[in-house]
Amino acid sequence: MPRLMIVLGSVRDVRMGAPIAEWVRGAAEADGRFEIDFVDLAELALPMMDEPNHPRLKQYTKPHTLAWSERVEAADAFLFVFPEYNHSYAPAIKNALDYLNSEWVRKPVGFVNWGGNSGGTRAQVALKPVVDILGMVQTRGHVEINFPQLQEGAFEPNEQQATVLQAQLDEFIALDGPLRTIRG
């Protein structure tokens, strides 16, 4: 059973991301084909990159980096759940990605993001070159949420959002065997 890491990239005290990430986690758990590792970057609390060596060397010196490396290495796929800030993605995601290098290679990645009119599309566009250079394989579709609203504290997706999320989960399964083989 592939391990899907769902990464909540919003770290603000008051944030729309937690209910959206809970919807994503609930859908992935209900799917039943994944072992879920849910990471809230606010709780993970990685400091700004503080390793003395380049991540490609994998010569980590800090306990938080060693723990993060082990957790990411164990994952087979990633769903990043993040807002759009100033036409880009949340800085906590960049920091979490930059800590590591080879742990990300040849693993599928999908995005669930939100914003105003764009639904977070500009954040996706900004993040795509980063995951590409890390060797990650993007799913074809990504969930985009325009002006998300909560109902009694919960996020309720529309039909398109639910369909795209399910398509991402299906693609993770389709990519798991071939990419696992390539990773060796």
Task: Render each residue's pLDDT in the chain as its tens digit; 184 residues.
Answer: 999 999 999 998 878 899 999 999 999 999 999 999 999 999 999 999 999 999 999 999 999 999 999 999 999 999 999 999 899 999 999 999 999 999 999 999 999 999 988 888 999 999 999 999 999 999 988 999 999 989 998 999 999 999 999 999 999 999 999 999 999 8
Torsion of CA 63, 69, 72, 73, to 10 degrees: -140
CA 25/CA 180 separation, integer angstroms:
23
Instruction: Please tell me the predicted confidence (pLDDT) of residue 16.
Output: 86
Instruction: Please tell me the predicted confidence (pLDDT) of residue 184.
Output: 83
pTM of this prediction?
0.95
Instruction: Please tell me the predicted confidence (pLDDT) of residue 12.
Output: 85
Instruction: Please tell me the predicted confidence (pLDDT) of residue 176.
Output: 96
Cα distances (Å, whole numbers) of residue 161 to 2, 37, 69, 157:
23, 22, 31, 6
For the stretch 139-143, contacts whose Cβ atoms lie closer than 8 Å and that sit 24 or more positions apart, written own/partner, are 139/108, 139/109, 139/110, 139/167, 139/168, 139/171, 139/172, 140/167, 140/171, 141/110, 141/167, 141/168, 141/171, 142/110, 142/111, 142/112, 142/113, 142/168, 143/110, 143/111, 143/112, 143/113, 143/168
Instruction: Please tell me the predicted confidence (pLDDT) of residue 7.
Output: 98
Instruction: Please tell me the predicted confidence (pLDDT) of residue 127.
Output: 96
